Amino acid sequence: MSFSDFALAPDLLRAATGSGYLVATPIQQAVIPAVLAASDVLGIAQTGSGKTAAFVLPLLQHLLQSPPRGDRRVRALVLVPTRELASQVAESVRTLSRFLAAPPQLVALFGGVSINPQMMRLRGGADIVVATPGRLLDLADKNAVALDAVQWLVLDEADRMLDAGFAEELARVLALLPPRRQTLLFSATMPAAVESLAQALLLEPLRVQIADDAHNVPDIVQRCIAVDPARRTQLLRQLIKDHAWKRVLVFVATQHAAETIAAKLYAHGVYATPFHGGLSQGARTQALQELRNGQWDVVVTTDLAARGLDIAQLPVVVNYDLPRSAVDYVHRIGRTGRAGASGLALSFVSADTEAHMRLIEKRQGMVLAREVVAGFEPTQVAVPDRAPVPGTGGIKGKRPSKKDKLRAEAARQAGSTPPDADKRGPR
């Protein structure tokens, strides 16, 4: 299906085709007509499937067809979990509206930078706001932004928005919005919390779930290498050297690990830099741009980079530390193999993490061979699975964590107060 088949303005089609959108992906084929028809939408599709364009294009079409009011109050609100994703979505809006005679007023709001310039940009009003919940609430508390006229709400990376750190903020933002609006939820995964949120927020939504098949599954080769923990950095250096890898994203568990491993790689001649939430926003933006420009061979990151980021021609993702859950594994490896390109997702597995890797494999319905690199043969032996002892910790998925319990409570609260459909009124 071509983008020219959609009921979009010529200038939007020109921007879309000029940006490489020629044949619509399955999520775009289903979602764009539904959003244009004013339906609520719950969209579930793998990373890199084109979800951003699926909601940006019809939102711009709606704005073209409904001229702004004199006060230019916010009409479209896109909520995202990270600053980088806010910038990325805002850039998509700019790109796809660049040929419009009167592009909508767009403001991106996120923390890590001074709030004053954002307040100044809001003084002239905004048609579209792309925001992280925390900074949006800061500005609402200062009466710098009003959300009572929002007609279109988008929750991107909806599963991440229900994490413990966002659930309360999300509830506060939703309380500021009018009950009568069109709401769109997008996620690469569908945990129970997202399902509960969808039932609470959406009115007779179109549910679009793009099943994985040979036509839309990203071309990602997944591999596991068995290695002792103490030798992972040396093995990583060897692999980078042997395969001449460029633009590698290495995932670790902590900010300290990101700093330490990047420094060790750099000291041995590998152009590596850290990327994590402890850096200033300027440093984070610079690191990503320099990776895209080819100035860094390796970026060592936490799960901050696991969601939504689109880095073209990123051929390799390495799980130096395994992700906490199978869901996080999906998002991490989804940074490669995007836009039709092929990619490699490599995971280091040790004796201590073997059981966790098997759990990830089980959740993903796959079994990966444990490879061994000559010279890095593991000396440690995995301990057989044992039943978890009540009251102790455990592998993610076998025992609810504190975050799991908070997610469940947030979902329960959202589900116990569904919006009154009568108050929303007709579309």
Q: Two tokens at 341? A: 């390109």
Assess whether 125 and 176 both reside in one domain: yes
CB atoms within 10 A of CB 176: 15
State the CATH number of the domain containing residue 359: 3.40.50.300
Assess whether 305 and 188 both reside in one domain: no
* Model-wide pTM > 0.85: no
Partner residues linked to 273 by β-bridges = 299
Q: Is residue 380 part of a domain?
A: no
Q: Is residue 400 part of a domain?
A: no
The pLDDT value recorded for residue 426 is 36
Assess whether 59 and 174 both reside in one domain: yes
Assess whether 203 and 308 both reside in one domain: no
Long-range contacts of 382-387 (CB under 8 A, 24+ apart): 382/351, 382/352, 382/354, 382/355, 383/351, 383/355, 385/355
Q: Is residue 379 part of a domain?
A: no
Q: Is residue 385 part of a domain?
A: no
The pLDDT value recorded for residue 217 is 58
- The tally of domains found in the chain comes to 2
Assess whether 339 and 418 both reside in one domain: no
Assess whether 52 and 184 both reside in one domain: yes
Whether 181 and 145 have beta carbons less than 8 Å apart is answered as: no
What's the half-sphere exposure (Cβ side, CA atoms, 13 Å) at 133? 25
Q: Is 317 helix (H, G, I), strand (E, B) or coil?
A: strand
The pLDDT value recorded for residue 420 is 43
Assess whether 233 and 192 both reside in one domain: no
Pairing of strands 128-131, 76-79: parallel
The pLDDT value recorded for residue 266 is 94
Assess whether 29 and 176 both reside in one domain: yes
The pLDDT value recorded for residue 42 is 92
The pLDDT value recorded for residue 70 is 61
Low-confidence ranges of the chain (pLDDT < 70): 47-48, 68-72, 162-165, 211-218, 308, 312, 338-340, 382-427
Assess whether 185 and 283 both reside in one domain: no
Q: Tens digits of per-residue pLDDT, 235-263?
A: 999 999 999 998 899 999 999 999 999 99
Q: Which domain holds residue 305?
A: 219-371
**Interior angle at CA 62, CA 61 and CA 66, nearest 5:** 120
Q: Is residue 378 part of a domain?
A: no
C-alpha 304, offset from chain centre = 9
Phi-psi region of 176 (alpha: psi -120 to 50; beta: other; left: phi over 0): alpha
Assess whether 172 and 228 both reside in one domain: no
Q: Is residue 267 part of a domain?
A: yes
Taking the C-alpha atoms of residue 322 and residue 123, their distance in angstroms, rounded to an integer, is 45
**Interior angle at CA 216, CA 210 and CA 221, nearest 5:** 125
Residue 311: Cβ-neighbour burial (10 angstroms; 0-12, 13-18, 19+): middle
Q: Is residue 140 part of a domain?
A: yes
Q: Is residue 106 part of a domain?
A: yes
Assess whether 174 and 308 both reside in one domain: no
The pLDDT value recorded for residue 31 is 94
Assess whether 268 and 208 both reside in one domain: no
Taking the C-alpha atoms of residue 20 and residue 88, their distance in angstroms, rounded to an integer, is 16
What's the half-sphere exposure (Cβ side, CA atoms, 13 Å) at 376? 22
Q: Two tokens at 48? A: 């890199």
